[in-house]
Structure formats: structure tokens, C-alpha cells
Chains A and B, each alone.
Chain A
Amino acid sequence: MKAFAHLTATELRLLSRDPGALFFMIAFPLMLLVLNSGNDRVEIFLPSYMAMILAIGGISVLPGIVATYRERKVLRRLAVTPVAPVALLAAQFAAQVVMGVAGSAIVVGVGVFGYDVEPPAHPLPLLLAYALCSAMVCAIGFVVAALAPRARTAELFGLLIMFPMIFLGGAAIPREGLPEELRRMGEYLPLTHAVTGLRDGWFGTPAAMPFLVLAGVTVVCTAAAAALFRWE
């Protein structure tokens, strides 16, 4: 447990030294919020950006880091310490969650206190949707890390999956403005259901469907990643 705490703190520190992660998980969402603050319904952006921040971290930042650890034999080195290499993967997940919470807290704080957005109507379902979304995006990220042969390809695959998801899933821009065909495409993306779950928790009526989709995708991706992951 002590080793895991140290690993998580280390991963978090490394993440905070990554200018790309810092910009896209903290500054970029804040920038988008400010740009959209003239909108009549600023509240629709907050749950979306929460999902976007998590997706950027889990689907595009995480696979690059994990694949680099494999390529540079960081995982192999850890295998000859008393700590199992899987602890490093768990620490990376925990660090992504903390980083995501930090980015979300900033954007939500500015939204609620700066732009007078009403606080969430259903905090518990919102929290559950948030937790499931974190788990799901990281599970997807681990699948990418498992499938990509090299660190560079992991980064590329991550971006190729993350970008369509945040744009078609309503995380970067609301789906209401998308053309009909693109909107329909979005329904097949797991992140869309995360955005729906988060929105329902903030200002809608929470329903079971998004939770089931998020949990299902998380279970399937975790199993796939566990089966496919190569340690070296």
C-alpha cells in the first residue's frame, strides 16, 4: 500500500510536469468555457467539459505514457522489485483520475462562481456518472496501450479515438448543433452516454441507461486490456 501511494504520487507529479497534459486537461477546457460564456445556457458546457477532460486524459494521455513505460523497459525494471508492474498501471489510473478531478473542479468552480451556473440538481447520480466515465476512458486507454506496438503509435491511436469521441459525443461541443448524420453517429460512441449521464445528473432526470452503457464498456475494455496487454 505504501508503495502504491508513492507510485501514485510520482505518476501525478510526472503528469503535472507534462505540458501537453496540463494544457489540454486544465487550460484548454477553461478557455473553451470562457469562449462559450456568452451562451444563454452555460450549464450545458460544464458536464460536457468534465467528460472531455477525462477523455483527453484516459484515452489520449494514458496510452502514450503506458506504452512508453513498456518500450523503455520501465515496467520490466519494476518486475524485479517487490512491487508488481500492474501497480504502476493502477497508479497511472489513479493519477489520471486525480488530474481529471482537478481539471473538472477548476472548470466547474469557474462556471458556478464566475458565470452563476446553478449547482447540480442530482449530485449523487452526477458523481456516479463521473466515476464510471473516469473508469471507462482509462479502460479504453489501456486497450489502446495494449494494442499499439510502440509508444508513438499508442499516442497516435489515442488521438484518433479521442478526437472523434469528444466532438461527436458532445463533450467538446454540444451535439444539438451537429448535423443529423453526425449526431446519429455519436449515439454509438460510449462517451456520448457519459455526457448524457453527467448532464442528467446536473440539470436533467437521471436514467439507468447511461450508467449501464458506461459500466458495460468499462467491463469489456478492462477484460480486453487484461487479456491483450504485453508487458514487454
Chain B
Amino acid sequence: MTVIEVTELRKAYHGTPAVDGVSFTVEQGETFGVVGHNGAGKTTTVECLIGLRRPDSGTVRVLGMEPARQRRALAQRVGAQLQESELPARLKVAEALRLYAAFYREPDDWRAVLQRWGLGPIRGKSFGDLSGGQKQRLQLALALVGRPELVVLDELTTGLDPVARRETWALIGGLKAAGTTAVLVTHYMEEAEALCDRVAVFARGRIAAVGTPRELAERTGTGSLEQAYLALVESAMREEAR
């Protein structure tokens, strides 16, 4: 089953195109990576998927719905973690989870989620006192407490130290094992390589290539996703210059 279907998506801000004709699909159970340079259109694309932005043209279907028109209905079935979004500083970890669980029709047991994501020891800590890794872990738990069919994670591991990042990888690996479809925006190629079934490389508002990390490496005649990414972005930039 196709969970996400994006066709010829375009979105401009003040006349400058941020996303300029992007098409891709994501199948159920897939972990789909979105990589690309800053300003490549990753976040705009993701925001169109969860209904935070309305496309200028093109179609976006998520779980058979149109996100820009059916944001709240879609939110029952899609969990999201946004870049830089915070919680009230004095809100405690357990309170945040219990609160978010109350938003959904059929939520997970928030106490179980607390334990599952290793938040038990810090359940009484205020959001403002959490470390970067703990904040991201909580954000991930909040994105999942509604038992979503699809989870969208925008730069979940940006700014984390390597240990915290590896821990987060393990958590995302657990998602995949549970069959949850995931869209993962990241700057880290080893992360995309380790976690994603397929990766879309964004460059200048378009998708330069989509495929499994191995396919992308082979297609570009390079040894790793990182090398493939650099080659793809470079050739996209060259084409743009021409």
C-alpha cells in the first residue's frame, strides 16, 4: 500500500521556489530518507506532508487524505517531530506524554511509552532541564504516543552527540520493526544509510535521485551514500549553473 504520494509538488516563498516539481512515493512499512543541502526544500516538502503548508501546485496524498485540507483528521494517524519545536519549560516529561496521549482517539498507554523510550528515570524532570538528547527522545515519544501509521521526523538527531545519536538510531530501528512507516529528514549520510530503505536526495528544490543507499552509490560509481550524495548535489549544482 502506498502511504505517501507526492506529484509535481511546487511551493515558492515570495516568488523564490523552495520546492520546484518534486514527486515521490513512500510505501507502507518503509523508512524513507530525505537528504539534501540547507535550503534544498526538505523541510518545506515535509511540512506539505503534514498539512502545515499548502502547495502552490501539484498533489500531495498521505494515507489517502489531502494534508492541507484535512490536517486534523490526518494528525490522528500521523505523528510528527518538528525542527526546533519545544514544550513549555516547566512541563514535566510524564505530564507531556499524558497530555499528548489525551489528544488522540486510540493512544498508546503513555506509561508504557514512557518506559519503552527510556524516559522512566527522567519522568519528573522539566522540559527546560532536559539535555538535547533527552528532549529529542521525548519529542520522538510524543510523535508516537498516538500510535501513528506514519511518523515524520525532521532532523531528529541534529545537534546530538554521537552517543545520543546512536541511541536514537536504535529507537528508530524499533519503529521499523513495529512496521511503522517513517519519513526521516537528516543531514547525516551514515544515518540515512543505516536506517533508510530508500533515500531521496534533494538539491535546489528538486529530487536529484531516489533509490536504496546501495543503488545510489552504484549509480554514481561511488562507494558510499556520502560519496553518492556529494556527487549528486555537485552535478545538480552544475546543471543549474548551465
Is A203 among interface residues, defined by CB-CB distance under 8 A? no
Report whether A2 and B102 are in contact in the complex, using a CB–CB cutoff of 8 Å.
Answer: yes
Report whether B85 and A10 are in contact in the complex, using a CB–CB cutoff of 8 Å.
Answer: no
A2: B residues at CB distance < 8 A: 102
Report whether A80 and B75 are in contact in the complex, using a CB–CB cutoff of 8 Å.
Answer: yes
Residue of A nearest to B102 (CB): A6
Report whether A73 and B88 are in contact in the complex, using a CB–CB cutoff of 8 Å.
Answer: no
B78: A residues at CB distance < 8 A: 80
In angstroms, Cα B106 to Cα A82, docked, is 12
Closest chain B CB from A171 CB (angstroms): 28
B104: A residues at CB distance < 8 A: 81-82
In angstroms, Cα B50 to Cα A142, docked, is 27
Q: Interface size of A by Cβ–Cβ distance < 8 Å?
A: 23
Q: Interface size of B by Cβ–Cβ distance < 8 Å?
A: 27
Is A69 among interface residues, defined by CB-CB distance under 8 A? yes
A5: B residues at CB distance < 8 A: 102
* Chain B residues numbered 87-139 whose CB sits less than 8 Å from any CB in chain A: 87-88, 90-91, 95, 98-100, 102-105
Closest chain B CB from A122 CB (angstroms): 39
Residue from the list B50, B86, B90, B99 in contact with A6, Cβ < 8 A: B99
Digitize A65-76: 1 where CB-to-B-CB distance is under 8 Å, 0 elsewhere: 000110011101
* Chain A residues numbered 1-23 whose CB sits less than 8 Å from any CB in chain B: 2-3, 5-7, 10, 13-14, 17-18
Report whether B75 and A77 are in contact in the complex, using a CB–CB cutoff of 8 Å.
Answer: no
Residue from the list A6, A18, A74 in contact with B98, Cβ < 8 A: A6
Is B239 among interface residues, defined by CB-CB distance under 8 A? no
Report whether B75 and A10 are in contact in the complex, using a CB–CB cutoff of 8 Å.
Answer: no
A17: B residues at CB distance < 8 A: 90
Residue of B nearest to A76 (CB): B85
Residue of A nearest to B90 (CB): A17
Residue from the list B50, B76, B86, B105 in contact with A74, Cβ < 8 A: B86
Residue from the list A7, A69, A84 in contact with B99, Cβ < 8 A: A7
Report whether A10 and B71 are in contact in the complex, using a CB–CB cutoff of 8 Å.
Answer: no
In angstroms, Cα B149 to Cα A29, docked, is 51
* Chain B residues numbered 20-75 whose CB sits less than 8 Å from any CB in chain A: 50-52, 71-73, 75
Report whether A77 and B82 are in contact in the complex, using a CB–CB cutoff of 8 Å.
Answer: yes
Given known contacts A14-B91, A72-B86, A74-B88, A80 and B102 CB-to-CB distance under 8 angstroms: no
Is B84 among interface residues, defined by CB-CB distance under 8 A? yes
Closest chain B CB from A13 CB (angstroms): 7
Closest chain B CB from A230 CB (angstroms): 14
Report whether B82 and A69 are in contact in the complex, using a CB–CB cutoff of 8 Å.
Answer: no
Closest chain B CB from A99 CB (angstroms): 14
Task: List 16 interface pairs A-B (beta carbons < 8 Å), by A numbering.
Answer: A5-B102, A6-B98, A13-B95, A14-B88, A14-B90, A18-B90, A72-B86, A72-B87, A73-B82, A77-B86, A80-B50, A81-B104, A82-B76, A82-B104, A83-B72, A84-B72
Show the binding face of A for B, using Cβ within 8 Å.
2-3, 5-7, 10, 13-14, 17-18, 68-69, 72-74, 76-77, 79-84
A76-B82, A79-B52, A81-B100 known, 7 other contacts, Cβ within 8 Å: A7-B99, A14-B90, A74-B86, A76-B52, A80-B78, A82-B76, A82-B104
